[in-house]
Each structure stands twice: as C-alpha cells, then as structure tokens.
A = this chain, B = another copy of it.
Amino acid sequence: MSDAAPAHTLAHPILTDDYATEWMGLRVLDLGEGTATVATTLRREMLNGFGIAHGGMLFAIADSAFALACNPHSPDEDQASSITVAAGVDVNFLAPAHEGERITAVAARRAHAGRSGIYDVQVFACPDGHPHTPAEPGRLVAEFRGRSRTIPRR
C-alpha cells in the first residue's frame, strides 16, 4: 500500500464475515445516507488473460460499495429485520485497469421507491502512490447501475 493510500477502514454491520470483501482487501473510506466509497489495490489474482483487470473483479468491488450504500450502517430495530440485496445490475466497462493500480468505487443512491432502489457506482483507477483525493479519484473505468430489493432477513 502506498503512503498516499488511506489506511483506515470504517465499520459496517454487513462486513462481518464478508469473506469476499475481505479477500479483495477493500477499505471503506466513506459511508453516508445511501452512499459508500471503497478502495483497494489491484492484485495479480484480479487480472484476466489480457493482463488487465478481470471485469468480474471490477464488478465485485463496485458490488461491495453498492451493498454498503443500500444497507444502513446503523440500522434501527425496524431495519434490522430486513436486508437489501442486488436484484440486478447494468454495467459499462469504459477503460482497462492495471495491476498495482488503486481502484476506488463510489456508490450513491439515485432513486428509491418502496422496497426498490437504484444506485449508481462509479469505478475509478489511478496509479498507486498517486496523491488520491475524493475530488480526484482517477480515471473512470466503469459505470455500474444497481437495482436493489429489500427483503425479509431469513
């Protein structure tokens, strides 16, 4: 991890035993009402045979940001009886990302009606060690639009 990368990670109840997010090394940089920002560094196990980020790995990073944005980080009693999951996603891959780059995914709620929601997640890549600020997250590599559905917790 570069000196420029934020080392902290915020707590969120859905991250307990989230082994995929842990495997990806995601750090939670920011959480708000319907928003979340996560970041990680692109490792070799996240590359495809063309030597660039596997689309599924960029998707997985965005999907974790989406889940963090659409589930409350401090659920009240009412919210604790349900979970919000991805019903579907439309994603566009705009540019390749490379090993060692820092990937940042910024999720924000766009619309909400009843138990359905729409969240946009933008995925950015920037060279590791590059000064990284929320205002300059790097170049846009994917646009992810998630459709959420709130369902009873089993």
Contacts and interface: CB of A to CB of B under 8 A. Distances in A.
List the number of copies, as a whole number. Answer: 4
A85 interface: yes
Interface in A18-38: 18-23
A90 interface: yes
B94 A86 contact: no
Contacts of A110: 143
Contact of A88 (B21, B85, B92): B92
A93 B116 CA distance: 11
Contact of A87 (B15, B20, B50, B93): B93
A94 B86 CA distance: 9
Could you tell me the dominant secondary structure of chain A's interface residues?
mixed
A125 to B, nearest CB: 13
B49 A59 contact: no
B50 A83 contact: yes
Interface stretch (A2-10, A40-48, A72-80, A126-134): A40-48
A54 interface: yes
